[in-house]
């Protein structure tokens, strides 16, 4: 009698439907419209307005932070510029490689809130 152990990734794969595909935008709008009783066009307007609101808040004139209540926090992080340098090549020990300079840039980070983490 042999027992095989599965990794957590394998267990998660077995728990969920592996052939399931993510919902499309139309399917999401239809599902929300059905469960709330709103028209599909109204649901689409809500999502459009949410996108506009997020854009205003994380844009240049906004505070750089937007929270979707109970789900996630969207934050803009300023990455500083880096200088060109040489570093050891991780794939060829003993050899140095050139790393190009990168300009300063803004990066969007999305942090899940507690309730979203608990859904998984």
Considering its fold, how many domains does the chain have in total? 1
Residue at 92 is within a domain: no
Residue at 94 is within a domain: no
Question: In the chain, which residues have pLDDT < 70?
Answer: 1-18
pLDDT of residue 88: 94
Locate 74 and state its tokens.
């969207």
pLDDT of residue 13: 55
Give the domain CATH number at 46. Answer: 4.10.520.10
Distances (CA, A) of 113 to 29, 54, 65, 70, 100: 23, 17, 14, 6, 36
Single pTM value for the model? 0.70
Residue at 95 is within a domain: no
Residue at 12 is within a domain: no
Give me the domain span that covers residue 37: 23-84+102-119
Residue at 55 is within a domain: yes
Q: What is the pLDDT of residues 22-33, one digit of tens each?
A: 999 999 999 999
Locate 88 and state its tokens.
């050891």
């Amino acid at each position: 009698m042999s027992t095989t152990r599965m990794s957590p990734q394998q267990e998660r794969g077995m728990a969920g439907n592996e052939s399931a595909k993510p919902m499309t935008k139309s399917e999401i709008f239809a599902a929300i419209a059905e469960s709330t009783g709103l028209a599909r066009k109204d649901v689409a307007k809500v999502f459009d307005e949410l996108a506009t609101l997020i854009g205003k808040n994380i844009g240049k004139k906004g505070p750089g932070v937007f929270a979707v209540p109970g789900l996630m926090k969207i934050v803009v992080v300023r990455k500083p510029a880096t200088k060109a340098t040489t570093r050891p090549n991780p794939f060829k020990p003993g050899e140095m490689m050139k790393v190009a300079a990168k300009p300063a840039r803004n990066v969007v980070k999305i942090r899940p809130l507690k309730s979203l983490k608990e859904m998984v």
